[in-house]
Structure 1
Amino acid sequence: MKHKINLVVYILLLWQLVAVIVNKEVIVPYPLDVFQRMIDMLTDFNFYQTLFITLSHVIIVVAISALIAFVLAYLGYQKPLIDEYVSPLLTMIQAIPNISFIILVLVWVSSLQTVYIVLFLVVFPLLYNNFIQGFKSIDHDLRDVILLYHPTCFEKYFKVYLPLIRPSFLSGMKSSLSLGVKVAVMAEILAGLPYGVGRAINYSRIQFDMVGVFAWTVWLVIMILFIDYILNKVMHDHEF
């Protein structure tokens, strides 16, 4: 904890030094101005609404992606031939720059649909890779024991296999949620979505309000760190 606090202090000092050297708020605002804006945001209902909209995009897509990835990873675990086709395809998708996804998808669908599709294309491969590795790490003897009890599909998925791959599942969720927030904001900006954090950052940029840009950026960093903290705590509490 001490090292983390020291790191934050060093970053703030460096930020203050750069702001003093540049001495132009439209390029690098002063930390105190940014923090004051952040405090002011806490009294504005639109701030919470904006955060909720962006977070809802991420949570919806990650939840759907996790469900599909879990089922597909299970099928790939049961039938390795499926994984031999799916894994290379998802590797190719991961190699495509996110901005290319956004530009291509924008040609075909609306701004909101673009955000959802791009988010899915980014987080789904990540989740699948984590889940399939979790399935592959299951002891083969356990698989034989499971078959002896003939569990229902629901019991097999959520009461047997999900606990067995819990570390991989939680690790995948942690990575996808953190990455999802960043990708969602970028997609909101490039797709020109009329609401969300991306819209707020883009509006501040157009108005040459760098204090606003920095304030929203710091809030995003805090939100991502908070998500990481919660999931790290969950992972620690559920260690085998």
Structure 2
Amino acid sequence: MVCILIPENALLIVVFLVMFPIIYESIVTGIENIDESVMMALRIDAKPYGFNSVFRVMIPMSRPYIILGIIQSIGLGMKVSIMAEVLVGNPGIPGLGIIIHEGYQYAYMPQVFAISILAIALIGVIDFGLRLAKKSFNK
């Protein structure tokens, strides 16, 4: 449905719809895991959900959860963007999925296999880097 209504933005919409729940869940989890004594102090000293409380206390304390959510959604977003390019097949947006789609469309299988292996290697390298970043944030 999205591909029919807005074909030039379909890729961005699909990737956003996949990434948003992951980022949202990480933000909610980060806020829920703030220490109860900090929340009690906010209730006593200030408005617990006021501007200063949110931006000076809650977001900095939930930053590891937010960063991990963004890291996880980037890895998944790359995979989904390639798949969405293959499915949408919009040549106006150049990418690995379009090259795979064109190779499949013209029955040029060496191109399909080469780009697929390149995509798998690229996603593997990026996932490895994201795992290293995740481990460094967990310490």
* TM-score, normalization by structure 2: 0.78
How do 1:78-227 and structure 2 match up within 5 A?
A: 104-109=1-6, 111-146=7-42, 148=45, 153=51, 156-157=54-55, 160-194=57-91, 195-227=94-126
Q: Residues 170, 221 of structure 1: CA spacing in aligned structure 2 closer, same or farther, 3 A cutoff?
A: farther
The secondary structure found in structure 2 opposite 1:106 is: helix
Deviation at 1:113, TM superposition (A): 0.9
Deviation at 1:146, TM superposition (A): 4.6
Deviation at 1:154, TM superposition (A): 7.2
What is the CA RMSD across the aligned residues, in angstroms? 2.5
The secondary structure found in structure 2 opposite 1:238 is: helix
Give the percent of matched residue pairs that are identical in Structure 1 and Structure 2.
Answer: 29
In 2, Cα distance between the equivalents of 1:168 and 1:215? 37
Q: Residues 155, 221 of structure 1: CA spacing in aligned structure 2 closer, same or farther, 3 A cutoff?
A: farther
Whether the 8 Å CA contact 2:42–2:53 is kept in 1: the answer is: no
The secondary structure found in structure 2 opposite 1:208 is: coil
Whether the 8 Å CA contact 1:174–1:228 is kept in 2: the answer is: no
User: Deviation per CA, 1:159-181, whole angstroms, max 9, x where unpaired?
Assistant: 53334223322332232112111
Give the letter for the 2:71 counterpart: K
Give the letter for the 2:109 counterpart: M
* TM-score, normalization by structure 1: 0.49
Q: Residues 231, 166 of structure 1: CA spacing in aligned structure 2 closer, same or farther, 3 A cutoff?
A: farther
Unaligned runs of 5+ in 2: none
Greater Cα radius of gyration, structure 1 or 2: 1
The secondary structure found in structure 1 opposite 2:138 is: coil
Deviation at 1:124, TM superposition (A): 0.6
Deviation at 1:211, TM superposition (A): 2.1
In 1, Cα distance between the equivalents of 2:60 and 2:129? 19
Unaligned runs of 5+ in 1: 1-103
In 2, Cα distance between the equivalents of 1:201 and 1:139? 49
User: Deviation per CA, 1:41-63, whole angstroms, max 9, x where unpaired?
Assistant: xxxxxxxxxxxxxxxxxxxxxxx
